Structure 1
Amino acid sequence: MSHVEQIGSDPDFSPVVELPADGSGVLDPQQIARWANDHGWAAPNIGAGTARVTRVGFSSAEPSHLEMLIERGSAKVLVRQTHGALDVGAVAQARMVRAGEGALYVISTRPVHIVWQSHGRVFELVAQDDAATAMDIALLFPVSEPRQGISSVVTALADIVGGAK
């Protein structure tokens, strides 16, 4: 079972209590943006009908990683972010896709595993399949160039080496 499948039933997952869901289980994008900005995280730029965030929180297994479960149609995508710098050497073999001011690094497409840097944060996206939807969701977040020569805090490095969970 992948981390995306486990997040809904992860006993270690601790949702952000300041972000209550509406009756359908969807979180308000403006509340997410305000909370993220106030706490030093990035929020997805979600417009009406593009996607919905159903979980935001931390796992006690990795409390320094903010996790967001984002859904679009039937696709579920887990986006994790942590403070640090992406080690471009660790993703040298990945397919690089230019995006905005930086690049997304596609580690695998089945399951989908993408990492990128943005202004002092490292992002990791994991999804079962549907690489096009995953890429669209990645682009809801900011992307900037990694600074060369800085060692990285790449989430789940074992996943990068051995394939996404």
Structure 2
Amino acid sequence: MSAHLGEWVSALVDNQLGLADRERCLAHVAACPQCAREVDEARSARRTLSLGIADVEPAPDFMSRLLAMSEPAAPAAGEEVGFDTAGGGEQRSSDASSLVPHEPLPPRWRALCGDVEPRGARRGRAVVALILGSSMVAVSLFTLGDRPVVAPDRQQNDALSALAAAAQLRTSDDLVVDTASGVLADSPGSGADDHEVLEWMSQQGWPRPESLPDAVTVQALRFTGADEDVLEVDLETPFGDVVVREQHGRLDQDKVSDLRTLDAGGAPVYVVSESPLHLVWQSSDTVVDLVAPGSLDDVLQLVSTFPVDEYDAGFQARVGRGWTTLTGVLS
């Protein structure tokens, strides 16, 4: 720094200096009357500019006269505008609208400043912005479309506890989800019937049987699990209560690779245990497991009514699941 602040005055007044430089300048101003006077004058000038000067407005007819200058002059009486040699010698129209492409004018303030962009540059930036925006949306949906890994509980106590809870719930009044509000209804009779329950499952994105076999009815439908993210459907069948649990996710193949499998429509159904019977399979983006007191032959017909397919980890499938998740949150 020289003997006086000089050009540093503006930087000091505009708060453009770092902490150390600002402290040095203020210390100099405190000891230098000339620099102190210049700093006061600069601050006074900025206050005057910020408080007192109104915007200068052009004359009312200035803009109309300026725009009129850009219009082509009308041809004189009897004057021919010209011929289009590429069009077989036909006379071109004297109408200015046929000579000038229809394109919206730029903002007036940009035209007055001479800051008018080429059409190609504007369109190019619009295309780039559109591509970037679409890419960001696709990446967001792709991220939302991921599903957590679900590992089935292979302990026998888990299957027995599920059957015991289903038997106990049959004595309760809160049995079936009300399809209109998503809350528990009083009973199957006054709430939702089997068909309405299956329709509700479809609307909420849960795998459901195409139709229930004869003598199989829905006894309860509720959310369980630590985060209440497991949909449990309790069924009454001729061979006892059957518990079907569904959780959005992808089946952990490492946890089921050693289990015996059954073929169901080209996709595997894994046998976790046979007493009680415990099956698990992948149904699109949901893991489904079934617990029943009967034998495998007893429940095969019921299992065949559920969709069984592999988890699709492809880009398009994940984006689709992300869109479903997003619309479900916003609805």
TM-score range, shorter chain: 0.7 to 0.9
Could you report, residue by residue, the CA deviation over 1:41-85 in whole angstroms, capped at 9, with x for unpaired residues?
A: 122222462521111111264510000111221321100001001
- Alignment of 1:16 with 2:177, yes or no, is yes
Q: Residue in 2 aligned with 1:45?
A: 210
- 1:7 is aligned, of 163, 166, 170, to 166
- 1:116 is aligned, of 281, 299, 317, to 281
Please, which moves more after superposition, 29-38 or 48-57?
A: 48-57
Task: Give the secondary structure class of the aligned counterpart of 1:34.
Answer: helix
Report the Cα distance in structure 2 between the residues aligned to 1:109 and 1:79, rounded to whole angstroms: 16
- 1:73 is aligned, of 238, 259, 270, to 238
Task: Give the secondary structure class of the aligned counterpart of 2:228.
Answer: strand
TM-score under structure 1 length normalisation: 0.74
More helix by proportion, 1 or 2?
2
Kept in 1: contact 2:248–2:287 (CA 8 A): yes
Q: Residue in 1 aligned with 2:255?
A: 90
Report the Cα distance in structure 1 between the residues aligned to 2:279 and 2:198, rounded to whole angstroms: 22
Structure 1 residues 127 and 58, CA, compared in 2 at 3 Å: closer, same or farther?
Answer: same
- Alignment of 1:101 with 2:262, yes or no, is no
Please report how far the alpha carbon of residue 7 of structure 1 lies from its aligned counterpart in structure 2 after TM superposition. Answer: 2.5
Report the Cα distance in structure 2 between the residues aligned to 1:72 and 1:131, rounded to whole angstroms: 14
Kept in 1: contact 2:243–2:292 (CA 8 A): yes
Q: Residue in 2 aligned with 1:161?
A: none
TM-score under structure 2 length normalisation: 0.39
Task: Give the secondary structure class of the aligned counterpart of 1:93.
Answer: coil
Please, which moves more after superposition, 46-55 or 98-107?
A: 46-55
Query: Which runs of no fewer than 5 residues in structure 2 stay unpaired?
Result: 1-159, 180-184, 314-331
Report the Cα distance in structure 1 between the residues aligned to 2:292 and 2:168, rounded to whole angstroms: 16
Kept in 1: contact 2:167–2:241 (CA 8 A): no
Q: Residue in 2 aligned with 1:152?
A: none
Please, which moves more after superposition, 46-55 or 66-75?
A: 46-55
Report the Cα distance in structure 1 between the residues aligned to 2:215 and 2:266, rounded to whole angstroms: 22
- 1:136 is aligned, of 294, 297, 301, to 301
Residue-pair matches, total: 145
**Which protein has the larger Cα radius of gyration, Structure 1 or Structure 2?**
2
Report the Cα distance in structure 2 between the residues aligned to 1:142 and 1:73, rounded to whole angstroms: 22
Could you report, residue by residue, the CA deviation over 1:16-43 in whole angstroms, capped at 9, with x for unpaired residues?
A: 23365127x9x63321222011111122
Structure 1 residues 125 and 62, CA, compared in 2 at 3 Å: closer, same or farther?
Answer: farther
Structure 1 residues 62 and 129, CA, compared in 2 at 3 Å: closer, same or farther?
Answer: farther
Divergent runs of 4+, >3 A: none
Structure 1 residues 91 and 60, CA, compared in 2 at 3 Å: closer, same or farther?
Answer: closer
Please report how far the alpha carbon of residue 106 of structure 1 lies from its aligned counterpart in structure 2 after TM superposition. Answer: 0.5
Please report how far the alpha carbon of residue 117 of structure 1 lies from its aligned counterpart in structure 2 after TM superposition. Answer: 0.1
Kept in 1: contact 2:212–2:302 (CA 8 A): no
% identity of equivalent residues? 29
Query: Which runs of no fewer than 5 residues in structure 1 stay unpaired?
Result: 149-165
Amino acid at match of 1:89: D
Kept in 1: contact 2:215–2:238 (CA 8 A): no
